[in-house]
Amino acid sequence: MFASITRRGLAGAAVAMMTAFSAFAQTPSGEPIKIGFGMSLTGPLAANGKSALLAMKIWEDDVNAKGGLLGRPVKLVYYDDQSSPASVPGIYTKLIDVDKVDLVMGGYATNMIAPAMPLMMQKNMTYIGLYGLGVNSEFNYDRYFVMMPTGPDPKKALSKGFFDLAMKQDPKPTTVAIVAADAEFSKNAADGARANAKEAGLKIVYDRSYPPSTTDYAPIVRAIQAANPDILFIGSYPLDSVGLVRAINEIGLKAKMIGGSMVGLQATTFKTQLGPLLNGIIMYDFWQPTPQLSTPESLEMIKKYQARAGAEGVDPLGYYMAPYGYAYIELLGKAVEGTKSLDQGKIADYIRNNNHKLIVGDVKFGKNGEWAEERVVHVQFQNIKGNDLDQFRDVSKQVVVAPPAYESGKLIYPYEKAKQ
């Protein structure tokens, strides 16, 4: 009996020692690998920027719990870019020259990613942006990559599903109005919309831009109403999107389809603000918790995100930003481990030449650091009642209506019917 107890005791001690050794072996040590970036934590882009940052913090915790990168801990070094493009070059100069970060990431959104490109090229840094539309179409920088599923023709991809839906209706629309903010993202989106409208044989009866400082959208909507388009494409940033939705409802715009590239409407804070005013609006999106768009890894990450969202004061659902906010820094981490190096050129080559299994699925990069294959979806807000948050947790109120392979429901057409 004594011998049996002793054997059990020794076995237990051995297991405990092995567990302790394993934990010790996985504990990262030495100087941290510093990853620097700017992020919109205040200003108009803050709702999405703060959501992305939480996802990146979750990645940081996950990686350090598994031993870090190259056996060293990872540390995020970031500054608030205040949703202001003018602040971006100074932030990245400080990160590289003063903070001496090992690696950099782009911030969130086209207007925040583009201003750092000249510096990235000068310093030969690998640079991964989050949701940048066509940023590299003029720079052609071979160390730039974007975590955004708009594929090899990003400007057109963001609105292709919108126009494809329109041309499937009976009778087919014949005219379109295009309105966009006078800012880089919105201008790129409008360029793509014009190309898609031309291919569809639609006549453009209104095509205007407005200053980003605009606060009164009623005159814009009245001018669109006077043009009497069958469909309305909008390229807007968060506060514009909210203002335009309110003006469209107040004036009673009669177009048969309304929406397009309206940034901000994916964020829960704006969904709950607008509530039923959103019904009928169609917008692009990248991720929803549907079987067609999610992976087990992305759903697990969303659970972690939502458990921390309240304390962090961020979007409580995180569907739009969190999966891709995690994936774009996950990509960098995989490239570091894949090359066993912090060399910028080796990391860029690795990203460019390999298929990457990320929480958003398999990703391969092509020309100008864009995704080799497009994976944009369009959703329509349907049957929203009141302003409570819980109705937005599943996909019944934000229905994926295009492309067919990702559908979770059918389009309600025309807009007037969908509003009811």
**12 domain residue, yes or no:** no
Radius of gyration of the chain (CA): 23
Residues of the chain below pLDDT 70: 1-26
What single-letter amino acid sits at 221?
V
Q: Return the SS3 of 409.
A: coil
Bridge partners (DSSP) of residue 80 are 39
Check whether residue 259 and residue 395 sit in a common domain.
Answer: yes
pLDDT of residue 15: 43
Distance CA 420, CA 414 (A): 11
Check whether residue 118 and residue 242 sit in a common domain.
Answer: no
Distance CA 209, CA 178 (A): 8
Check whether residue 360 and residue 387 sit in a common domain.
Answer: no
**180 domain residue, yes or no:** yes
Check whether residue 322 and residue 357 sit in a common domain.
Answer: yes
Distance CA 73, CA 49 (A): 24
**27 domain residue, yes or no:** no
Pairing relationship of beta strands 356-358 and 361-363 according to DSSP bridges: antiparallel
Check whether residue 186 and residue 305 sit in a common domain.
Answer: no
**17 domain residue, yes or no:** no
Supply the mean pLDDT for the chain. 93
Pairing relationship of beta strands 127-130 and 74-80 according to DSSP bridges: unpaired
**2 domain residue, yes or no:** no
Distance CA 175, CA 171 (A): 12
**10 domain residue, yes or no:** no
Domain that holds residue 338: 33-149+293-369
DSSP H helical ranges for 66-126: 88-97, 110-113, 117-123
Check whether residue 159 and residue 265 sit in a common domain.
Answer: yes
Domain count, the chain: 2
Check whether residue 161 and residue 265 sit in a common domain.
Answer: yes
**20 domain residue, yes or no:** no
The residue from 348, 369, 390 where one domain ends is 369
CATH number of the CATH domain containing 133: 3.40.50.2300
Per the confidence metrics, is the pTM higher than 0.75? yes
Check whether residue 39 and residue 133 sit in a common domain.
Answer: yes
Check whether residue 261 and residue 409 sit in a common domain.
Answer: yes
Check whether residue 195 and residue 314 sit in a common domain.
Answer: no
Tokens coding 337 = 């481990």
Check whether residue 59 and residue 143 sit in a common domain.
Answer: yes
Burial of 209 from C-beta contacts in 10 A (0-12 / 13-18 / 19+): middle
Pairing relationship of beta strands 282-285 and 257-262 according to DSSP bridges: parallel
Check whether residue 145 and residue 158 sit in a common domain.
Answer: no
- 401, 164 in Cβ contact below 8 A? no
Beta-strand ranges (E) seen in 289-372 are: 356-358, 361-363
- 365, 272 in Cβ contact below 8 A? no
Read off the pLDDT of residues 379-416 as tens digits, 9 standing for 90 and up.
999 999 999 999 999 889 999 999 999 999 999 999 99
pLDDT of residue 29: 76
Q: Return the SS3 of 181.
A: strand
**320 domain residue, yes or no:** yes
